[in-house]
């Protein structure tokens, strides 16, 4: 094999992986699958895409060996192949944030509209959990909470929050968290809580970053 042929073959494989990442919906799928295994129907609903389109995106990811699948009855479940996939996605986020000013502007505008600019760090939240002076609210879907959550957190999915506000005491600050820094669930929860008179803030990142930093994670 000639040197040029070798380089062309190797770099084509790198390009194939990059191509699998080159879709907003596929990136969103990777972001969601870091929370745990999902079937195609659930993923379709969560990324607001048709079942057929979601299946096609998953096949691209599977061809690039970024996800794995298993069949249970008529349902097909997918998960990330390993943590390297999510780490690559995190690296891409970091690069884009440092190069594209519009990302910071869009995030700031979105959070400001929902009174969700106030965020606390992982370290501060852990300290306050140990002091027992904060209510930690997980607003992700229940199956994601069951797969892993911050110790002591209560699970109230965003879709149920308005109907279950009576379960949250108003005499303590609430810190909501979800999937990560670009997840919309916790900012939406902050708006609901603030409108109802709660003192509420959000965790600046999500459960994957919490886990990556070495903090404890509980499972049901």
**Which residues are known catalytic residues?**
178
Annotate 141-174 with b (16+ C-beta within 10 A) or e (fewer).
Answer: beebbebbbbeebebbbbeebeeeeeebeeeeeb
Q: Is 22 exposed, middle or buried (0-12, 13-18, 19+ CB in 10 A)?
A: exposed
């Amino acid at each position: 094999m000639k040197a040029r042929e070798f380089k062309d073959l190797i770099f084509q494989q790198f390009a194939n992986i990059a191509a699998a990442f080159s879709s907003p919906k596929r990136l969103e799928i990777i972001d969601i699958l870091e929370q745990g295994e999902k079937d195609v129907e659930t993923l379709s609903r969560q990324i607001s895409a048709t079942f057929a389109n979601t299946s096609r995106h998953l096949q691209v990811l599977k061809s690039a060996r970024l996800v794995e699948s298993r069949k249970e009855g008529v349902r097909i479940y997918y998960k990330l192949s390993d943590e390297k996939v999510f780490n690559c996605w995190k690296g891409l986020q970091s690069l884009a944030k440092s190069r594209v000013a519009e990302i910071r502007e869009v995030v700031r505008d979105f959070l400001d509209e929902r009174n969700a600019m106030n965020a606390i760090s992982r370290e501060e939240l852990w300290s306050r959990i140990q002091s027992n002076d904060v209510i930690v609210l997980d607003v992700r879907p229940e199956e994601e909470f069951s797969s892993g959550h911050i110790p002591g957190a209560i699970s109230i999915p965003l879709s149920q929050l308005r109907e279950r506000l009576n379960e949250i005491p108003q005499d303590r600050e609430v810190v909501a968290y979800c999937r990560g820094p670009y997840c919309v669930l916790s900012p939406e929860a902050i708006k609901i809580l603030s409108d109802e008179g709660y003192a509420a803030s959000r965790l600046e990142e999500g459960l994957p970053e919490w886990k990556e930093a070495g903090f404890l994670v509980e499972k049901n």
